Structure 1
Amino acid sequence: MMEAVIIDLHPRPGKFSELTVLVKQMVEEVRRHAGCLQAEIRLAPERGKISVIQKWQDPEAFSEYLIWRSKQEHLDRVYALSEAEPDLSSYTLCEPG
């Protein structure tokens, strides 16, 4: 079954634009990762929130991506620009019918 993932980021004051640029680069990498079906960014500057929405062919593909991502430099920079750890929610998508 497909897996949907929502990641919410809360930039430190004054770091919204810088974190947005970094997240855009990271999403481009996500889109090229095996098993990624979709990756989009939602920006809410008035609430100080950046959301990344991803869709994966299955939970295993997402798990493999997480292992790969944990070894990349960008993740340390995300933490440095954020007020807190990213909020990650994962959902199994049900097929209609």
Structure 2
Amino acid sequence: MGNPVTLTAREFALLDCLARHPGQIFSREQIEARLYSETDSPLSNAVDTAVYSLRRKLSPPGVPQLIHTRRGLGYLLDPDAASPSSSS
């Protein structure tokens, strides 16, 4: 299938959130609420950093991205992005 990927707890939580709702857009605020406790004070770019790191681990160069950005809205997982094209 592929090589195993080692994820941090936060990366796993992010992937879990997106994978349980494929195609659904999650805002930065929604993701932040799922990744951090109420006592945490994440930096303003913490969600962007987690998404960037997860993207790099899941989609090396030449492999279609699974996590997409919807400018001004948030992030979503597109499971169809990894499927081979059916144009023969």
Shorter-chain TM-score tier: 0.3 to 0.5
Q: TM-score, normalised by structure 2?
A: 0.33
Give the structure-1-normalised TM-score.
0.31
